[in-house]
A and B are shown apart, each in its own frame.
Chain A
Amino acid sequence: MKIKYLTQLLSLVLLVNLFACQKQNDSSEQYICPMKCEDHKTYDHPGICPVCKMDLVKVSSIKEAVLDEDGISDKSIFNLTSEWKTQNNETIHLNDLKGKVMVVVMIYTSCEAACPRLVADMRNIYAKVDNPAVDYLLVSIDPEKDTPEKLKAYAKEEHLDGDQWILLQGGLDDVREFSNVLSMKYKKISPIDFSHTNIISVFDKNGVLHYQQEGLGMSNDKLVEEVKNLNK
Chain B
Amino acid sequence: MVKLKYIIAFLGLFSLSLTGICQTPTAMKPIKGGTMLPLYGLDSSKVWVDDFLLDEYPVTNQQYLDFVKNYPEWQKFNVKSIFADGNYLYNWRGNRQLGENMNPNSPITNVSWFAAKAFCACQDKRLPSVDEWELAAKANETKPNAENDSLFNQRIIESYETPNTYSKTVGSTYQNYWGVYDMHGLVWEWTSDFNSVLISGESRQDGDADRNLFCAGAAISASNLRDYAAFMRYAFRGSIKADYNIKNLGFRCARTN
Residues of B with C-beta under 8 A to A173: 126, 192
Contact B209–A189 (Cβ < 8 Å): yes
Please give the number of chain A residues whose Cβ is less than 8 angstroms from any Cβ of chain B in the complex: 46
Q: Of the candidates A17, A34, A57, A187, which one forms a contact with B196 in the assembled complex, judged by CB atoms under 8 Å apart?
A: A187
Residue of A nearest to B206 (CB): A197
A34 vs B94: C-alpha distance when bound (angstroms): 8
Q: Are A62 and B77 in contact (CB under 8 A)?
A: yes
B43 at the interface (CB under 8 A from A): yes
B46 within 8 A of A: no
**CB atoms of B41 and A189 under 8 A apart:** yes
Number of interface residues of B (CB under 8 A): 49
Complexed CA–CA distance, A187 and B83 (Å)? 22
- Whether A21 lies near B18 (C-beta < 8 A) is yes
A181: interface (CB < 8 Å):
yes
Q: Which B residues touch A190, using CB under 8 A?
A: 42-43, 45
Task: Give the complex CA separation of A176 and B80 in angstroms.
Answer: 18
Answer whether residue A195 sits at the interface, using C-beta atoms and an 8 A cutoff: yes
- Measured between alpha carbons, how far is A148 from B202 in the docked complex, in Å? 34
A77 at the interface (CB under 8 A from B): yes
Question: B4-12, B53-61, B173-181: which lies at the A interface?
Answer: B4-12
Contact with B along A172-210 (1 / 0, CB 8 A): 010011011101111111100101111000000000000
Known: A197-B200, A197-B207. 16 other contacts (CB 8 A): A10-B11, A17-B11, A55-B94, A55-B97, A61-B75, A61-B78, A65-B81, A75-B80, A173-B192, A177-B117, A185-B238, A187-B196, A187-B197, A196-B207, A198-B207, A215-B202
Sample (12) of A-B pairs whose CB atoms are under 8 Å apart: A17-B14, A20-B21, A54-B94, A55-B97, A61-B78, A74-B80, A173-B192, A177-B242, A187-B197, A189-B41, A190-B43, A195-B198
**CB within 8 Å of B: which residues of A?**
3, 6, 10, 13-14, 16-17, 20-21, 24, 34, 54-55, 57, 61-62, 64-65, 74-77, 79, 114, 173, 176-177, 179-181, 183-190, 193, 195-198, 214-216
